[in-house]
Amino acid sequence: MGGNRANGHAHPEPGSFCAAQMCGAADTLREQGYMVEISDLYAMNWGAALDRADFMHPLEGQFKPQAEQVRAAKEGSFAPDVAAELEKLQAADLLVFSSLLWWFSLAALLKGWVDRVFTMGTVYGGGVGTYDTGLFRGRRALLTTGGVVEHYGPNARDGEMNVNLFHIQNGMLRFTVLAPVISYSLVRLTREDRAAQLGRVRGAFETLDEREVASG
Ligand SMILES: Cc1cc2nc3c(=O)[nH]c(=O)nc-3n(C[C@H](O)[C@H](O)[C@H](O)COP(=O)(O)OP(=O)(O)OC[C@H]3O[C@@H](n4cnc5c(N)ncnc54)[C@H](O)[C@@H]3O)c2cc1C
């Protein structure tokens, strides 16, 4: 196997389970020959807000984010932090989002990474296609995430996990999105159960080629 893998990771605590999950996945991929690039967004002090500072030469007057993105793509004038992340993304044939469920979604820094790096004219639209006809065609993505197990399911309080993840898997990704790697109810598990779960996470990343595509 092998290839390049970019990872957007958003958790404020390096000793968290979320970080352990991310490191386990990265080690497993390196063992298979992947070159792994990790964007540890808290450690990078990544800013979540898309604004004029994303561009080296924004036009005066009303700020139009998508038009600025298309122009910056043509001119190569993204601000250095956005340009650096775009470079990692363009090189990646596997993209992994590492974030627990925070309010049914990605942690804000990772959502902000998508706002600022999934740019019109480079990743989608502006003549480059969208989703599986855009930058990502032929590439794979998946989420590592977590939540409280009994809250998810057909009749559970928070509904089906895949429905919760639809806005990410379909709204942001929708190229080849593999089934998510979900670690449930981490806070309540015993140390042994958590170690076993980390083993399952590693196992998932050892067998990506056999992993089913996400439903929903
Ligand atoms: C703002 C916010 C919004 C949220 N919204 C939702 C939501 O919408 N839906 C939902 O279901 N949940 C939600 N949650 C809960 C969230 O998903 C949990 O915080 C998460 O599942 C716990 O993960 P963690 O990595 O932060 O846990 P941690 O507290 O870091 O880890 C859990 C335990 O694992 C231990 N651990 C760490 N590393 C290892 C290791 N290597 N081996 C073994 N044990 C280890 C830790 O010491 C700790 O005891 C929300 C939380 C926040 C903060």
Give the model's pLDDT for residue 96: 95
| Res 1 pLDDT > 50 | no
Q: Which residues line ligand 1 (CB under 6 A)?
A: 11, 13, 15-18, 20, 100-104, 146-148, 151, 186-187, 191, 194-195, 198
What does pLDDT average to over the chain?
A: 93
Q: Which residues of 147-182 are buried (b: 16+ CB within 10 A; e: fewer)?
A: bebeebeeeeeeeebeebbeebbeebbbbbbbebbb
**Angstrom distance (rounded) from CA 81 to CA 42:** 14
| Res 2 pLDDT > 60 | no
pLDDT digits (tens, 9 = 90+) for 171-185: 999 888 999 999 999
* φ/ψ of residue 86, rounded to 5: -60, -40
Which residue is associated with the tokens 């290839």?
3
Q: Hey, what amino acid is at 170? A: N
Ligand 1: distance of its center to the CA of 70 in Å?
38
Give the model's pLDDT for residue 216: 67
| Res 132 pLDDT > 50 | yes
- Mean per-residue pLDDT for 83-94? 94
Question: Strand 176-177 relative to strand 140-147: parallel, antiparallel, unpaired?
Answer: parallel
* Tokens coding 95: 């993209």
Give the model's pLDDT for residue 3: 72
Give the model's pLDDT for residue 41: 97
More confident position, 139 or 129: 139
**Ligand 1, closest atom to CA 16?**
30
Delineate the domains of the chain, giving CATH numbers in brackets: 3-210 (3.40.50.360)
More confident position, 114 or 6: 114
| Res 102 pLDDT > 80 | yes
pLDDT digits (tens, 9 = 90+) for 14-44: 999 999 999 999 999 999 999 999 999 999 9
- Mean per-residue pLDDT for 154-179? 92
Ligand 1: distance of its center to the CA of 101 in Å?
9
